[in-house]
Structure formats: structure tokens, C-alpha cells
Amino acid sequence: MALMISVSGIRGIFGSHLTPENLVTYTAAYGTLLEGGTVVVGRDSRVTGQICEDIVCATLQSVGCNVIKVGIAPTPTVAMGVLKHEAAGGIILTASHNPAQWNALKLLNEKSEFLDADRGRDVIELAQNGDFSYSTYDRIGSVSEDPEAIQTHIDAILELPYIDAELIRKKQFTVAVDAVNGAGSVALPQLLEKLGATVHRLNCEPNGIFPHNPEPLPEHLTEICDFIKSTPCDLGIVTDPDADRLALVDENGRLFGEEYTQVAAFDLMLSKKPGDTATNLSSSRASDDISEKYGQQCHRAAVGEINVVKVMQEKGAVIGGEGNGGVINPDLHPGRDALVGTAMILQLLAERDITASEYRNSLPHYEMSKQKVQLSDLGMDADDLLLEVATRYSDNNPDRTDGVKINFDDGWVHFRKSNTEPIVRVYSEASSAGEAEDLATNVLKVLRGV
């Protein structure tokens, strides 16, 4: 697999596709685009993190950027660092949920947002042209450190007007944490202890050796579920390696479902301040339901964190997120943040005096089906397939923002083409897994003329 370049970053397997050479190339392009200024640099705990950090920091210096290192820290902590230091941008060295052999550059702008498509293209063009502005010896950038970055992030969360730390402390929650030995290994327990919780640490050594597949999906989270079944806990918290995605486990060892992390965050925020919400097209209809409960609208964006952020800003949304466990709270910074998501969940449970399972059972219930369609099976390319879907279901007013999404009374089906494989991804949702799968299957039958 070649180096993957997208709005999600520049990522690949270290040593084969992500090499010191292309780390220098893309970092120099980014630094040149910034025309100097300060860049906050952080990383997750991957074994290759230190060497990547050394290369990136030296390259930034070479193009005249001053570097502030925050070390091993969650992606949202680096974003907070950009705001704290009024920096020109930020770089996080993390391949997110990819396996341990991967690493990546995630690039932030001066607002702590991920680069949008236009700005990303500027970096790519500079990298391809190789026309970098290297500095002379008397103009190279400096390097300093901010050892308080995580504490600053936690303090900002505790200062949010709707986080009542004293109320949460009185509940004396017991929480199990599986940080997959990633960047949340220190930060999450530290936040929880500030909120008076007793913390059971599972996989909280930030050594980059992931004890299980690092993507927080149900099939990878049996350890924490089994732990909670045998050890009394009020809540289980799971993050990916860079701690921007948050999955929850109730006191019975039952998974909340990643889709419902943002739903809970929406519920808390909308109970405190009115306003619309935003999420991506592939996220659960439960986000719409909870927004409508408060008389607000949930706006939909193309898949991708920066796309949700842009829609939030356009619509003035008070809260946003993605169904992969991402909570975007603009009162803090415009990005997914497992730490603020954790505090919001504990606030909700504390003030409503409800268990995690009771709360989850109170929410509208949906199930998703996720399938792949080989284009060779249908005898058409991806664009033709998407056009055919939109044409066949024109009466349903298909959404063409990102692929094609068809809304039905009892659910929806979303078709998106893959950028890396000759397939189309088909996500569907209904009140049960079987019904969700049937929705997608029925649309595919129409396409096949069955």
C-alpha cells in the first residue's frame, strides 16, 4: 500500500511508505506554507514516535519555524496547545486507529482545525514541487517544551460552565480505562482523578505496544467488558491511540455503541444551551432524534472531521461530532476530544443521578449494517454506481454531499466510494441489524435488476 495522503493526514507504514525522506518533504512543505511562526508538535506513544518527532522538529527549524514540543499527548491536547500559544499551526504524529507499524502527520492550522481540502492541496503541491524555503544559519527556528500541556487541557475542561466538578466528585465514580497504551494513558486517568473517580487502568502504559487492535470497535473491546463484569465499575472508557475517539461501556460490561457517545454529548449540551448540532452523513439517526427533542436541527456533513467542523461553523452549531466516538465541543476547540467527552458523560450521569445502562436504555435504539460492494460485481465504476443510485431513488431526494445517501421512513442507506480500493462502502441503519441489512440489500437488488 502506498503512502496515503488525504484530509485525515499523511500516513503509511514506517520504513516502507512513511520514510524519513517523505517526513522531511511534507513537513518542509507545511512549514514553508506557514512562512515561519510557531508550531506545536505532539505525538502518540508509537515506537516510531520519537524518531518521527526528531525529524519533524528539525525540519520545521530548518524552514524557520519555532517549535513547542508537548511530547506524548492526545491529539486534542495538541490542538489546545495551538490555541494556548497562539501558534501558526500544529503537527500531531499519530496514525490514529491504524496498527502499531503505521505513523502519520496530522496537520493543524492556526485555529487548531485540521487543514481543509484547499489548504491540504497547497501542502501537497509544495511537497511535489520541492520548492522549500530553508533558512540560513542565523534564521533557523528554536525548540522549547510545554510540559503543562495536558494539565492546561484538563483545567480548561473543568472550567466549562456546565461541568460541575464538585457534583461529579460527590458521586465517587469508579471508572475502568483502556487507553490501548496510547496517548490517553496518562491524560485520561489524570482527568478522572481530578473528578474524584477511582480509576482502574487497563493498558495505560504509553509504550506504543497496542495489546489489541487499536480501533475501538466491539470485537476489540472484550477485555474491558469482561473486566467490568467481574469488577464493580460505574463506567468503562476506551480511546484510540491518539485519544480523540471515545467508546463507552456501561456498569454491566455492555458496550454503549460508538454512535451513542456523541448522542450523549448532544443531550447534555442541548440541556444547557440551545442551538443546532452537526454530524456526518454516516452517523446514526439518533443524533437527529436527540436534537429534535430540544427543538433543534442536526445538520449533516461529508465524512471527515474537518467537514463536520466547517458545517458547525456555518450553521452555528453548539455541539458536533462523528459516530465513530468523536465529540466536537466548540467551547473548547474545533476538534474531536475524548477528554471533554468523558467529562460531559460523567456530568450527565451525575446530575441526572442515573446509571450508564439506564441512560443508554433511555435513548432511541438503532442498528447499523456496514457492507462493501465490489465494483466488478456490478460491472460499473464507482461514479456510475453512485449516479445510478441517485437516479433510481430520485423520489427520495437523495443527498449527494458525500456519495449518495437515501433516507427512508424506517432507516437510511449511504453509498460512498473508497479512495483506496475498487469498492463502494454501503452503510445502512434501521431499528434492528436485520432490517438495516435488508435496506441495503434491497437497494442493491434494484441496481442489479433482480
For the chain, the three-class secondary structure string (H helix, E strand, C coil) is: CCCEEECCEEEEEECCCECHHHHHHHHHHHHHHHCCEEEEEEECCCCCHHHHHHHHHHHHHHCCEEEEEEEECCHHHHHHHHHHCCCCEEEEECCCCCCCCEEEEEEECCCCCECCHHHHHHHHHHHHHCCCCCCCHHHCCCEEECCCHHHHHHHHHHCCCCCCHHHHHHHCCEEEEECCCCCHHHHHHHHHHHCCCEEEEECCCCCCCCCCCCCCCHHHCHHHHHHHHHCCCCEEEEECCCCCEEEEECCCCCECCCHHHHHHHHHHHHHHCCCCEEEECCCCCHHHHHHHHCCCCEEEECCCHHHHHHHHHHHCCCEEEECCCEEECCCCCCCECHHHHHHHHHHHHHHHCCCHHHHHHHCCCCEEEEEEEEHHHHCCCHHHHHHHHHHHCHHHCCECCCCEEEEECCEEEEEEECCCCCEEEEEEEECCHHHHHHHHHHHHHHHHCC
Give the pLDDT confidence score for residue 445 in this predicted structure: 87
The pTM of the full predicted model, rounded to 2 decimals, is 0.94
Region 381-396: mean pLDDT is 91
Reported in sequence order, the residue ranges of 50-189 that DSSP labels E, i.e. its strands, are 65-72, 89-93, 102-108, 143-145, 174-178
User: What confidence tier does 450 reach under pLDDT thresholds 50, 70, 90?
Assistant: very low
Q: 331 or 444: whose pLDDT is higher?
A: 331
Region 127-150: mean pLDDT is 94
State pLDDT tens for residues 252-267.
999 998 899 999 999 9
Q: 303 or 420: whose pLDDT is higher?
A: 303
Average pLDDT over the chain reads 94
The region of weakest confidence among 61-70, 127-136, 161-170, 183-192 is 127-136
Any residues with CB less than 8 A from the CB of 127 and at least 6 apart, and which?
22, 25, 26, 28, 29
Give the pLDDT confidence score for residue 272 in this predicted structure: 97
State pLDDT tens for residues 316-341.
999 999 998 999 999 999 999 999 99
Give the pLDDT confidence score for residue 385 in this predicted structure: 87
User: What confidence tier does 54 reach under pLDDT thresholds 50, 70, 90?
Assistant: very high
User: What confidence tier does 3 reach under pLDDT thresholds 50, 70, 90?
Assistant: confident
State pLDDT tens for residues 222-235.
999 999 999 999 99
- The structural domains of the chain, ordered by start, are 4-147 (3.40.120.10), 153-362 (3.40.120.10), 367-448 (3.30.310.50)
Any residues with CB less than 8 A from the CB of 368 and at least 6 apart, and which?
259, 284, 427, 428, 429, 433, 436
Give the pLDDT confidence score for residue 373 in this predicted structure: 82
- pLDDT at position 427 over 60: yes
Region 86-102: mean pLDDT is 95
State pLDDT tens for residues 393-407.
999 999 999 999 999
User: What confidence tier does 202 reach under pLDDT thresholds 50, 70, 90?
Assistant: very high
96 is annotated as an active-site residue: yes
Give the pLDDT confidence score for residue 419 in this predicted structure: 64
- pLDDT at position 391 over 90: yes
Q: What residue has cell string 495505560? A: 204
Give the pLDDT confidence score for residue 222 in this predicted structure: 95
Q: 10 or 332: whose pLDDT is higher?
A: 332
Q: 9 or 13: whose pLDDT is higher?
A: 13
Give the pLDDT confidence score for residue 7 in this predicted structure: 62
Give the pLDDT confidence score for residue 420 in this predicted structure: 58
Cell numbers of 140, please?
Answer: 533557523
Residue 239's CB is within 10 A of a number of other CB atoms, namely 29
Region 331-357: mean pLDDT is 98
Give the pLDDT confidence score for residue 150 in this predicted structure: 98
Give the pLDDT confidence score for residue 421 in this predicted structure: 66
- Annotated catalytic residue within 8, 16, 62, 96: 96
Give the pLDDT confidence score for residue 447 in this predicted structure: 79
- pLDDT at position 113 over 50: yes
